[in-house]
Amino acid sequence: MKKIAAIFVITALLVPSVMTINAMTANDGKNVVSTMLNNPPAKPTISGPTSGETGKSYTYTAVTTDPDGDKVFYCFNWGDGDEICTDLYNSGQEATVSHTWNSDGDYTITVKATDENGAESEPATLKVTMPLTHPKSMNTHTVLAEMGSTTWCPNCPAADERIEELYSSGNYPFYYVTLVYDANKVAQTRGGWLSDSYIPMLYLDGGYKVSDNPSMYGQEIMSTSQREVNPLSMNISAEWKGDAKIDITISITNEGSKSYFGHLRVYVTEIVSRWDNQKGEPFHYALLDYAFNKYVSIPAGETYEETTTWDGATDHNGNTYGDITPDNIMVIGGISHWMPHLEKNPWTQPKPYRFIAQYTDQTAAAIVES
């Protein structure tokens, strides 16, 4: 019987749970064993709002890559005792999940990625605060921002990223709507009202300010939030009724001593849009259509309230939205004083570059409850 001399070579790498073991027979060459232990995924990247309101659903994404190309799943610990794990995703593919916090407080979201062979990544964390807190020093109201854009515009993706970064930070008192002119005739009509000929273009509070410089968006939003406005409070609720129908209720209280006459616009937006920008990335909070677009009169000290059912499956100026889901819809409303103001865009050609602005006095928003 031949003697078998076995040589074992063990290489341990510094990455956790990564080791290569090679076992070879020196004499007859019949028994050769090579075992590669699994490499863990990289530490995930997590993104999403860092502050918000209790009782509302917020959406977060996580993504990682696996050095072996394995599929991975993500486990989200929300910091409030709840945890959820996703299905398997391809390496490099984003996973999206939503969560609702029911109590005020500070929470830390912890996300780990685990590949299909059981190797686990380092944890990634994101701190969030409930409820939403904006700087309150001199803010008079919540700003309404409207972003003019198209799917083919090469400069628009950078503007999209900047406005979403500001909104997700929770440090700026505004909601925003993306007007995708070439995909939606309703948005195109709104752009015509604003005489928007260049994109991207950001309109704040109905045209009180117009900004063509993404690096200035934050400063412009904060200064707009501190302007003098009519004293109104505003609330919106939205309830999913199934089959792409949403019951939307608007409530506006005139807290002033004089009657108020204003233009009410309530935008139904898709949080992660069906339309992509020039980089192939989806727009956010893209206008689908209005739930309300009308003038209202509110006596001093009284409250205006109205409910409508918005049906995504019906025709919306050439588009239908029967495939919407409640977790991907935000309803954003703005009330503007009827008084017209002649404003100008930041160019002189082509004409017209001037437009009629109606300054927004208050803005509110709601996630659809299902």
- 292 lies in some domain: yes
**Where does the pLDDT of residue 104 fall: very low under 50, low under 70, confident under 90, or very high at 90 and above?**
confident
Which region among 25-29, 126-130, 138-142 has the lowest average model confidence (pLDDT)?
A: 25-29
Domain match, 153 and 280 both? yes
- 70 lies in some domain: yes
Question: In this prediction, what percent of the chain has a pLDDT beyond 70?
Answer: 88
> Is 353 in a helix, a strand, or coil?
coil
pLDDT tops 90 at residue 10: no
CATH number for position 85:
2.60.40.10
- 135 lies in some domain: no
- 138 lies in some domain: no
**Residue tagged 């590949």 (tokens):** 115
pLDDT tops 80 at residue 347: yes
Domain match, 208 and 329 both? yes
Domain match, 272 and 222 both? yes
Helix 156-169 to helix 217-225 angle (10° resolution) is 50
pLDDT tops 50 at residue 354: yes
Residue 229: which residues within 8 A CB-CB, separation 6 or more? 140, 141, 359, 360, 361, 362
What is the C-alpha to C-alpha distance for residues 73 and 132, in angstroms, rounded to an integer? 30
For residue 58, count CB atoms less than 10 angstroms from its CB and return exposed for 0-12, middle for 13-18, buried for 19 or more. buried
Which among 101, 130, 159 is the end of a domain?
130
Provide mean pLDDT across the span 133-142: 70
pLDDT at 313: 97
**Where does the pLDDT of residue 106 fall: very low under 50, low under 70, confident under 90, or very high at 90 and above?**
confident
pLDDT tops 70 at residue 8: no
What is the C-alpha to C-alpha distance for residues 171 and 174, in angstroms, rounded to an integer? 9
Altogether, the residues listed in the chain come to a count of 370
pLDDT at 36: 62
Domain match, 55 and 199 both? no
Q: Calculate the average pLDDT of the chain.
A: 88
Domain match, 19 and 62 both? no
Domain match, 350 and 261 both? yes
For residue 159, count CB atoms less than 10 angstroms from its CB and return exposed for 0-12, middle for 13-18, buried for 19 or more. buried
Domain match, 232 and 84 both? no
Write out the DSSP string of 18-72: -EEEEEEESSS---EEEEEPPPPPPPPEEES-SB--TTSEEEEEEE---TT---E
Domain match, 117 and 188 both? no
- 137 lies in some domain: no
For residue 193, count CB atoms less than 10 angstroms from its CB and return exposed for 0-12, middle for 13-18, buried for 19 or more. middle
CB atoms within 10 A of CB 346: 11
Which among 108, 130, 152 is the end of a domain?
130
What is the C-alpha to C-alpha distance for residues 203 and 208, in angstroms, rounded to an integer? 7
Which region among 25-34, 139-148, 163-172 has the lowest average model confidence (pLDDT)?
A: 25-34
How many independent structural domains does the chain possess? 3
- 118 lies in some domain: yes
- 1 lies in some domain: no
Which among 130, 159, 193 is the end of a domain?
130
pLDDT tops 70 at residue 342: yes
Write out the DSSP string of 126-150: EEEEES-----SS--SPEEEEEEE-
Range of the domain at 23: 6-36
Domain match, 266 and 359 both? yes
pLDDT at 21: 37
- 93 lies in some domain: yes
Domain match, 192 and 216 both? yes
pLDDT tops 70 at residue 3: no
Q: How many CA atoms lie within 13 Å of 146's alpha carbon, on the beta-carbon side?
A: 31
Domain match, 75 and 154 both? no
152 token code pair:
């083919």
12-66, pLDDT tens digit by residue? Answer: 333 344 443 344 444 454 444 444 678 999 999 998 888 888 888 889 999 999 9
Domain match, 114 and 167 both? no
243-268, pLDDT tens digit by residue? Answer: 999 999 999 999 999 999 999 999 99
